Chains A and B, each alone.
Chain A
């Protein structure tokens, strides 16, 4: 009992430390995102508003960014607006940045959730199969295959998949600009997101498979597995009930880190298929020099990635409490 209490204390202290770090990083990110505007060559107001700046627009921009104040004060004007959910209004589309993000974000979340379901659902059983006979023919084949796939970037994979599935095989709703929103028709929606989810899923699968396989092989050498075997517990039960949990620490750690790359990969895939998610919005805004939208997306996505990393960190600590003791 007392051990458990002490353990809880250690975990709490660890989490507190992580939380302080989290706040520090979010602060640094906000400063970075704020300062982006000042990387623009020349007067930010002129660059953002373009040549046809009306006095009303200039006043609006000043209210958002406080451009006529000293730079430190500008940050506080900006961050206060951001904390009130006001990321500014695009001077090109005349809609608020937040409403653009709110409309696009669920699409990214859906693609990533689908891809991760695919990746975990395939990586875990296949890694178990592989780890059962290390260096066996199946393990070698999977090793070579996954290594090759590791060298195929997501944007190459999606191009080749569109070429094969949508153009050569002519499967409906999989090509470019065939996105249907979830509210309209969920079956067609899933069809239109199948290729993006598959592409990102493959990329994650390769990484997860390799990490879990090597950890499983190490775990299966441990004495408690031999003990379980000698008790006559079935192979399947040993894998799922005894070996998976101790082997999944680095898997979850990798998954947490993977999410940032996944988002960036998802951006390009969305753009290629004209799916109106954050990536598509981001690239369009870069193209039209709609800087406030770019700034908003960068801020929201960076903070999102950090929060997801934190959540995975928490999960790893719950699975293996020894980590927080270090």
Chain B
């Protein structure tokens, strides 16, 4: 065997190996996807599942620990903690998906368009967005929600969604910018493809992974934010359960019933961990680094 053939084979083997390595996302990734799926399933079918009513107050069983009857125990009003956690995930999921819908629905097209068109449109829009980005978004959210009474879930979604627009805009704009001068876009232009076709068929598939990984991190941020708002008394009002509400309520009786604090915290942290992990894996899988953007 000639040495050059050996080298070329070795190179081929190495690249093939690398390709196989790259395709794998790992067991942990799929465990996380499964856990998120389970959460989503619980949130959607909470009404149908054989769960006790999350608002039913059973004074015969107040502050009991985990048992077969009450899987994760009950709170100070005798309400089933497991059931409240499942129902509580609804609030987190609704707020995060709703606000991301607004953020991506407005921020992503604007970002892509700005990066594709460039020129004055891009300059004006980017300047405005950067001005908003300098705003402390969390404080602005708290401020608007505390004045915009009466409070409701839809108002939280609107405020958080609007706060997310400049962030989504920035990420999608820089992602599109990295691709918009590539040869395949130029080729499509030369062939006479319309702008909408280039944006949707040529650019969107390439920047979708970046968008998805940012979406997951955005959802994680909003879930945390909902928890924070619950502490400030700005989220959904009790007795409606949300993870933030539950942790907030647990403080008064931390000494008697620590389970009430531990289980919702655990539910929230696991949910966040899965989101962050999947987002991180996707980002490294598609090799999206900040430097490249």
Report yes or no: A167 in contact with B255, Cβ–Cβ below 8 A: yes
CA distance A299 to B276 in the complex (A): 33
Q: Does A171 contact B (CB under 8 A)?
A: no
Q: Which of A249-289 contact B (CB under 8 A)?
A: 260-261, 263-265, 267-268, 271-272, 282-283, 286-287
Report yes or no: A147 in contact with B280, Cβ–Cβ below 8 A: yes
Which residue of the partner chain A has the closest CB to B252? A176
Q: Does A156 contact B (CB under 8 A)?
A: yes
Chain B positions 222 through 256: 1 when the CB is less than 8 Å from some CB of chain A, otherwise 0: 00100110011110000000001001001100110
Q: Does A25 contact B (CB under 8 A)?
A: yes
Set A32, A41, A153, A267: member contacting B149, Cβ < 8 A: A41
Q: Does B56 contact A (CB under 8 A)?
A: no
Report yes or no: A40 in contact with B149, Cβ–Cβ below 8 A: yes
Set A28, A263, A294, A306: member contacting B146, Cβ < 8 A: A294
Which residue of the partner chain B has the closest CB to A164? B258
Chain A positions 12 through 50: 1 when the CB is less than 8 Å from some CB of chain B, otherwise 0: 000000000100110011001100110111000000000
**A159 — which chain B residues lie within 8 A by C-beta?**
247, 250-251, 254, 261, 265
Report the minimal beta-carbon distance from B275 to chain A, rounded to whole angstroms. Answer: 8
CA distance A176 to B255 in the complex (A): 11
Report the minimal beta-carbon distance from A140 to chain B, rounded to whole angstroms. Answer: 14
**A263 — which chain B residues lie within 8 A by C-beta?**
136, 138-139
CA distance A298 to B147 in the complex (A): 11
Segment from B43-51, B183-191, B266-274 that makes contact with A: B266-274
Report yes or no: A21 in contact with B232, Cβ–Cβ below 8 A: no
CA distance A28 to B132 in the complex (A): 9
* A267 and B232 contact, Cβ closer than 8 Å, known pairs A163-B261, A167-B254: yes
Which residue of the partner chain B has the closest CB to A25? B134
Q: Does A152 contact B (CB under 8 A)?
A: yes
CA distance A122 to B228 in the complex (A): 26
Which residue of the partner chain B has the closest CB to A166? B254
CA distance A287 to B228 in the complex (A): 15
Report yes or no: B143 in contact with A294, Cβ–Cβ below 8 A: yes
Report yes or no: B232 in contact with A283, Cβ–Cβ below 8 A: yes
Report yes or no: B227 in contact with A153, Cβ–Cβ below 8 A: yes
CA distance A150 to B228 in the complex (A): 16
Q: Does B220 contact A (CB under 8 A)?
A: yes
> Is chain A's binding surface mostly helix, strand, loop or mixed?
helix
Query: Size band of the B side of the interface?
Result: 35 or more
CA distance A264 to B232 in the complex (A): 10
Report yes or no: A33 in contact with B143, Cβ–Cβ below 8 A: yes
Indicate the member of A152, A167, A264, A265 with the most B CB atoms within 10 Å. Answer: A264
* A151 and B136 contact, Cβ closer than 8 Å, known pairs A40-B147, A298-B142: no
Report yes or no: B147 in contact with A260, Cβ–Cβ below 8 A: no
Indicate the member of B131, B143, B220 with the most A CB atoms within 10 Å. Answer: B143
Set A37, A156, A268, A272: member contacting B269, Cβ < 8 A: A156
**A295 — which chain B residues lie within 8 A by C-beta?**
143
Report yes or no: B142 in contact with A162, Cβ–Cβ below 8 A: no
Report yes or no: B268 in contact with A153, Cβ–Cβ below 8 A: yes
Report the minimal beta-carbon distance from A37 to chain B, rounded to whole angstroms. Answer: 7
Binding site for B on A (CB under 8 A): 21, 24-25, 28-29, 32-33, 36-37, 39-41, 147-148, 150-153, 155-156, 159-160, 162-163, 167, 176, 260-261, 263-265, 267-268, 271-272, 282-283, 286-287, 291, 294-295, 298, 301-302, 305-306, 309
Binding site for A on B (CB under 8 A): 131, 134-140, 142-144, 146-150, 220, 224, 227-228, 231-234, 244, 247, 250-251, 254-255, 258, 261-262, 265, 268-269, 272-273, 275-277, 280
23 A-B pairs with C-beta separation under 8 A: A24-B131, A25-B135, A36-B144, A151-B220, A151-B272, A151-B275, A152-B269, A153-B268, A156-B265, A156-B268, A156-B269, A160-B262, A162-B254, A163-B262, A260-B136, A263-B139, A282-B232, A283-B233, A294-B143, A298-B142, A302-B135, A302-B139, A305-B136
Shortest Cβ-Cβ A-B pairs, 8 listed: A260-B136, A151-B272, A151-B273, A264-B138, A39-B147, A298-B143, A305-B136, A156-B265
